[in-house]
């Protein structure tokens, strides 16, 4: 998945952390919700401004970042 059109980084928003489509919802927020066991449906119910594609983009971003960190070592 090409997450680059969904994940945005703006210096003045959320401390420059990667966010979803310019909103104040950070990738780390989505990953944290998934980590505590929330389902996609639960996240979408609590945050109707998000889409399933936004959640998948967060996962793809995290996986890509992990690959880059491992490769850089």
Which pLDDT band, with edges at 50, 70 and 90, does 21 fall under?
very high
Q: Are 40 and 52 in contact (CB under 8 A)?
A: yes
Q: How much helix, strand and coil, in percent to the nearest 5, is found in the chain?
A: 60, 5, 35
Q: What is the overall mean pLDDT for the chain?
A: 94
Q: Is residue 44 within 8 Å of 51, Cβ to Cβ?
A: yes
The answer to whether residues 56 and 63 touch, using CB atoms and an 8 Å cutoff, is no
Domains in the chain, ordered, with CATH?
3-72 (1.10.10.10)
Q: Check: pTM over 0.85? Answer yes or no.
A: yes
User: Residue 73 has what pLDDT?
Assistant: 66
């Amino acid at each position: 998945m090409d997450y680059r059109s969904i994940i945005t980084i703006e210096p003045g928003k959320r401390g420059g952390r990667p966010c979803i489509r310019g909103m104040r919802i950070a990738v780390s927020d989505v990953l944290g919700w998934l980590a505590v066991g929330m389902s996609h449906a639960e996240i979408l119910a609590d945050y109707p401004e998000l889409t399933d594609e936004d959640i998948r983009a967060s996962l793809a971003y995290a996986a890509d970042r992990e690959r880059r960190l491992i490769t850089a070592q």
